[in-house]
Structure 1
Amino acid sequence: MNRNDEAARRPESGSTSRIHLPAQRTAPSHRADEPAAGGPDPTRPNPGGESAALDNRVTLRGPGELADALPYLLGYYPDDSIVLVALQGARHRVGGRVRTAIPEDTGTWRQTAAEVATCLVEGSASRDRRPDAMVLYLCQEPRAGEQPRDVLERLRPLAQYMRTTCGAHDIPVLEALCVSGGRYFSYCCPDTACCPTEGRELRTEPASPIAAAATYAGVRVQGSLRDLEQRVTPLGDPVAGRQIQAFDVAARALVPKMLGNPAEIAEVRAETLRTAERLMTRYRRGGLSQGGPEAADLRDDALLTSHEAALLVLGLQDRVTRDRAAQWMEGPSARAALRLWRALARRCVRAYEGHAPAPLTLAGWVAWSLGEDAAARVAIGRALESDPGYTFARLLHQAINDGMDPEPLRRCLRRRRETRTP
């Protein structure tokens, strides 16, 4: 997600640590941060405006509670990730945090450690203040034939690079944890009674202090990072083969009109938006499947024909059409719009993957507007991976990282909708 002060102090210090969970707004705008395309990206602590009644403080004691807190700090369960969290002040209140993937090439680990640490230090300093300490998490599932303990040892050099790099900035890493296979291990704690060599199991019970406080504060964990990425990943065969054929047919009909005279351009814009409205109505009437996000996405894919997907994806390449489509960001239309934009992103397959930034950015925008920050960051990050220069995605990415609330942008889009001539 990235907003409020959440704190953690090293257990060996003998003092307690605190996490101040953020209160949930009508449309919360900050929860955790995701990397921009090509590298890590710092977050910004929430500038304020929280309800005192929901400022629920949780005292964390020891590595176990720090490990339990990680998904609530990010808004999802990180997969294959380096997560670095900045601590500020004498009470070690959490400031920014940064996440990036663990490189497969171990030869790049030292450089990655330097980039991640520098990114968080400089980003925190430019937005608020330099960190006074750090907490490090290395999260990776065991490979075939591995045990969680093997992951701990395999990632130990990376943990050391991270600790020495932070030390070069005169910032100590108070705790470094490896999270793997449902267990956690400490690279810092020498007490085997606290942190045995076989690790300890992560707590999953909903009654844990951090889970209870997060529920009270309105903080939601939106599945794993891999789950969020899957929702906007292009589909494979046989759907992909049919979709390519539909794109080829639709492009021959639409592209000349989109490049034609003003009347033809207006016709394509109107038809694209009418098709989108018709599909959103279909999605609302079709309801949601039982069984979680995967089943819901399968249902949405089945409700969308290859021809409809091709017409919409091509039509949304027009900036005016895309901006008008962005006005479905609240009320009954928002949820259906998010489902549609995700489904369209999944249809941008093979040669047409370059068309994905439009539906991906729309999905990110609506998710952010609905308070689903982690999902928003994943979709926007994917858009920037596809096209680093895509302006709408870059602006949204910066807005989320700067701790902005989506409401000013919603007001702007409402005014455009109200003043637009049919």
Structure 2
Amino acid sequence: PGTPMPSPGAGAVGLPAEPPRTQTPSREAEADFYCVKWITWKGERTPIIMQSENGPCPLLAIMNILFLQWKASGVKLPPQKEVITAEELMAHLGDCILSTQPREPSEGLQLNFQQNINDTMTVLPKLSTGLDVNVRFTGVSDFEYTPECIVFDLLNVPLYHGWLVDPQSPEVVQAVGKLSYNQLVEKIITCKQASDSSLVSEGLVAEQFLESTASQLTYHGLCELTAAVKEGELSVFFRNNHFSTMIKHKGHLYLLVTDQGFLQEERVVWESLHNVDGDSCFCDTDFHLSHALGKEGAAAAPPDHRLQQRQVDQDYMIALSLQQQQGQDPSALSDLELARQLQQEEYQQQQQQQQQQRQQQGRAQPGGRPAGERRQRQKPDLDCTLL
């Protein structure tokens, strides 16, 4: 989990949000030191900073980007370094921010840069305790602009989220509009107290949206995110009050694994982000599927419906990848989502047929594959796609 962060509207009207947490002095002391994991990244030995239980995830997410793109940022560590302090990280970050000064600035640019630096230095301490960001549900780059955002702007680090309203749900679009999370929570409270039944209804629709998307990632958001992030781009992904380092590789999104429990797992570097349910897989530094370690319970065969859901996710991502290769407009993604829904319905029908046939025959069809079930696509372990 990320560091305790002022969650936008956390706890208001019983909406899904991480409860505020407090750290004991002992944990604060522990959080001053972070383990360094060395990986081979693009042929070079590269450090990534691992996160303790309540580590400052905004600081680590940004610093890990700077380490991964050290050729551009100039941020490096001594090759034998195994532990780093928060103060050292902040010093590296400060140096990197100061290096962004325009080379031949005009007087106006210089004044603007100096003001940005002053604003950033005020915000920097918050990177160690948690940033307060407020998402808007209209786009993956849409946040209420706060002083905290200046850090990402100065370092040219994109900040994304995937908590979007599906445009094919007009009632929800109407209820949520262009409001931020904080504004939407306020609207829900106001609507609940209104005498106008239409306002009460709109408030309930908005509340249902927040409850049904408690994971803070929707399939429409995942679609838009996949389309918006550039190939090879390193960025910060915000979800559930947590900031992660994200990259796009061969059309798929991956999050950097920084949990300290994986410090000694050399083959676990990236984690796929291909559905909203957290059902992901681990990859090594070259994005090859890591067979050495899986999620808890991965060794056990999942139920049929989980296998079918994975097949739906795979079909969906393949279609999305093909669409990107063909250069189609991202606005066509809504059609892709509709196709995914139809695919889901098809699998549900197949599951019902399969159950009926099993009841009639008293056992499964011979040959190892239940009747009505599709043959799984065989793909090489080039990308981390769950079958």
Instruction: Please tell me the TM-score bracket, short chain as reference.
Output: under 0.3
- TM-score, with normalisation over the residues of structure 2? 0.24
- TM-score, with normalisation over the residues of structure 1? 0.22
Structure with the larger helix share: 1
Between the two structures, name the one with larger relative contact order (CA 8 Å, sep ≥ 6): 1
